Amino acid sequence: MVSNTLKFFIFLTIGFILITVNPCDGQRRARKLPECHWQGMDDCIKPLFYFSHRPNTTGLALNRREHALLCRTIKNVTDCVQTFFTQCGTALSQEMFVLVNEVYVNNVKPFCRNGDTKNNYLEHARCINDVQLAQPFKRKCVAKFQSTLESMEEQVDYSNRVGLACCGYRTWIECSKDMVKEQCQPGENASQAFLDYFNAFTGGVPQYVCQPKKYDPESKFCRKVLPSVKRRPKGRNSDNVFSKYFSLFYPNIGF
């Protein structure tokens, strides 16, 4: 998915960094850097919409030509975002972005260069795409993920909100892996292709922050904070920015 797309997960991954950016901070700064506006971030990310807004796709590159285009687009997006932070970010946000971007770039490299990772992904991309387009995937995996994001504001303890997001992320990963593994053969290879694609889009940052053992969907904490399976997401009509962005970015699978 990544992704699956980068736009939503870029906002999820560097959301904390974004709140430390101070675009157009006062008239003096605004005159000096008139390009410092939130629209700048939107403009950086828009090229990725090409992949997720096509008919019958979920953001995946489905052949070698599209894969090459996707990797070039990811490079252009990260360069654009880096320029935005360099020009408009505070000293703290710039330092944080450098660290996140380094991890991100290192995770993209294996996916984009010629080798086993790329070949395995291209072998299973169409099947993964078909699995994600099917209604069972939307009902079982997407609904749970977006409902979890939309329940974040209900947590009084802010630390629980972060934990809840990680529980939702882990639930999403496990649900997606299981459905891909079941329907695409060989299952282990297909599941790995999905993870490689997802980690390329997210830079592996959520994978690192949301440690598997701590935020296992069956852990005591996750069982406590995860919303009921009966809860239906509002998606595009949600007040939660992450859920809304997911639906806007993935119109073919989001609610």
pLDDT in tens, 128-143: 999 999 999 999 999 9
Is 35 inside any structural domain? yes
**Residue 35 has what pLDDT?**
61
Q: Cβ–Cβ contacts within 10 Å for residue 4, how many?
A: 26
Is 220 inside any structural domain? yes
Instruction: Please state, in angstroms and rounded to a whole number, the distance separating the CA atoms of residues 86 and 91.
Output: 9
Instruction: Please state, in angstroms and rounded to a whole number, the distance separating the CA atoms of residues 17 and 210.
Output: 17
**Residue 16 has what pLDDT?**
36
Is 43 inside any structural domain? yes
**Residue 48 has what pLDDT?**
85
The DSSP 8-state label assigned to residue 217 in this structure reads T
Is 254 inside any structural domain? no
User: What is the residue whose two structure tokens read 């609904």?
Assistant: 143
Instruction: Please state, in angstroms and rounded to a whole number, the distance separating the CA atoms of residues 106 and 103.
Output: 5
220: domain range?
Answer: 6-249
pLDDT < 70: residue spans in the chain: 1-35, 38
pLDDT in tens, 192-230: 999 999 888 777 778 778 887 889 999 988 988 898 777
**Residue 14 has what pLDDT?**
45
**Residue 126 has what pLDDT?**
97
Is 58 inside any structural domain? yes
Is 1 inside any structural domain? no
> Is 140 within 8 Å of 179 (Cβ atoms)?
yes
**Residue 7 has what pLDDT?**
42
Instruction: Please state, in angstroms and rounded to a whole number, the distance separating the CA atoms of residues 1 and 60.
Output: 6
pTM confidence score:
0.81
H helical segments located in the chain: 6-13, 15-20, 26-32, 38-45, 49-52, 64-88, 91-112, 116-133, 135-137, 143-150, 158-183, 187-202, 205-209, 220-225, 241-249
Is 185 inside any structural domain? yes
Is 255 inside any structural domain? no
**Residue 104 has what pLDDT?**
77
Q: How many domains does the chain have?
A: 1
